[in-house]
A and B are shown apart, each in its own frame.
Chain A
Amino acid sequence: MATNLGGLTATGTVRVHRLVRGFGSRAVLDGFDLEIGSGEFVALLGRSGSGKSTLLRALAGLDSDADGSGMIDVPEKSSVVFQDARLLPWQRVLDNVVLGLRRSNAHERGLAALAEVGLAGRENAWPNELSGGEQQRVALARALVSEPELLLADEPFGALDALTRLRMHDLLRELYARHRPTVLLVTHDVDEAVTLADRVLLLDSGRIAVDLTIDLPAQRSHRQPQFLAYRETLLRALGVNHSEG
């Protein structure tokens, strides 16, 4: 198992050294190294089976069933956003948001987090009364209410329709600008990666094939030539040669 040396490094920094993770005899990650600076927004791209979810689960400490070794150093305070909103259907929205909070002012903080994701006034709704996008916003509020130093997101917008996904992109950038956690976003969508992240890692067969720093203003659009260039690079690295959307 990996040793967690939390606390030895600056808050928010993620350090992975010689990480090995596999299931049975198949090694998904084999001697994997990664360093993410505090407050960096990193997108992790890759085809299915490239090991991106394995890496995220290792960082989240959710892989007790996997075999492996190596060193993982992540901030003490980290949150996970899953692909499904994963709200407890038997708890009202606010109770879902404050589920992990152990403080006296949990109620107020929960309400504030809901207001931040644009769901003020919905605190007493049941999760299944909300739309898919709204449920994922509640999941974001639940992840951010504990003021994490690291936010791990596993294809959080993968199950949403295109329009809702664009709105969620804006919301995530906005929340990131305000709270400045370190973010590791796993996605298979190149546009999403270039739109959101400041650094894009492309994972291929368990190693980093491309490490690209995105040097674009906060307001990004498909019309920027530099945006298209980044997109082209990543698509080519993924083995897609034509450039239509």
Chain B
Amino acid sequence: MTATVLARLQGTTTPSVRKPGRRLKPGRPIPLGAAIGPFLLLSVWAAGSAAGWIDPRTLSAPWTVVTTAGDLIADGRLQDNLAISAQRAGLGLVIGTVIGTVLAVVAGLSRWGEALLDGPIQIKRAIPSLALLPLLVLWFGIGEQMKVITITLGVFVPVYIHTHNGLRSIDSRYVELGESLRLPRAVFLRRIVLPGALPGFLLGMRFAVVNAWLALVVVEQINSTSGIGYMMQLAREYGQTDVIIVGLVLYGLLGLLSDGAVRLAQRRALSWRRTLAD
């Protein structure tokens, strides 16, 4: 855009026009820019299926997937499984977020808290949550409890890490301001610490949401009798590619929606910031 304007200016031969300085920002956002890539992918898939390049046993055609989704909705299986999956992920996300935030504040504001908490959490961070699964199954069985705990474990670590980091990077000048105003600890926490750590917390939430869905997929494929993962497991046994794809699309949509929700919250909550992307 800038280039064409420049070309036109030079074309009209006005030597006094100063060349606009080089823009370091990425430029104006493209309308619906985020949709372009996925749309392209979908077109290739549709074209490949229509032309017969893609074996329906390998990958069902998009329209078959849509019809299957319609059938699944009609007999209520999709809603039921989706509801139970969303409940598991949501519960794990809420519990994990609360635990991660509380631990981050405790570790961030007291040296003792840090000494006691930070080490174990860093160790936990080094062990992938899913590697703990055999132990969790032994401890909690294969019921809902084990599923929610696994998701919680995957969620609280990124929330803790990023909130703690955000908290620790709050400018010490603001702490001094709080001291000079003799703010009570609760007010200091509410007006300076928590808002200061919010950018870190929200970044942690984006990782946490991804982890929640990831853990959900895994726990739902272990001896589950409900949920999207179970629906897909069953479809694998009957060779129903279309149902598997419906499940994948669902997972994708859920991930996209929840990330979008966090990003929206980010924009709302951090409207005071001016950044490179604005």
Contact = CB atoms under 8 A, between A and B. Distances in A.
Interface of A: 60-62, 79-80, 82, 84, 86, 88-91, 95, 99-100, 102, 126-128
Contacts of B179: 61-62
B198 interface: yes
A90 B198 contact: yes
Contacts of A62: 176, 179-180
A91 B274 contact: no
Interface of B: 173-174, 176-177, 179-184, 191-192, 195-196, 198, 270-274
A127 B273 CA distance: 10
Of the candidates A82, A95, A99, A128, the one having the most CB atoms from chain B within 10 angstroms of its own CB is A99
A99 B191 contact: yes
B195 A90 contact: yes
Nearest to B188: A99
Nearest to B180: A80
Contact of B180 (A60, A88, A102, A126): A60
A109 to B, nearest CB: 15
Question: Would you call the interface of chain B mostly helix, strand, loop, or mixed?
Answer: helix
Contacts, number: 45
Contacts of A126: 271-272
A91 B173 contact: no
A99 B187 CA distance: 9
A91 B191 contact: yes
Contacts of A95: 191
Nearest to B192: A88
8 contacts: A80-B180, A82-B177, A84-B173, A89-B273, A90-B196, A99-B183, A100-B181, A102-B184
Contacts of A88: 174, 177, 191-192, 195
Contacts of B272: 89-90, 126-128
Nearest to B271: A126
A80 B183 CA distance: 13
Contacts of B270: 90
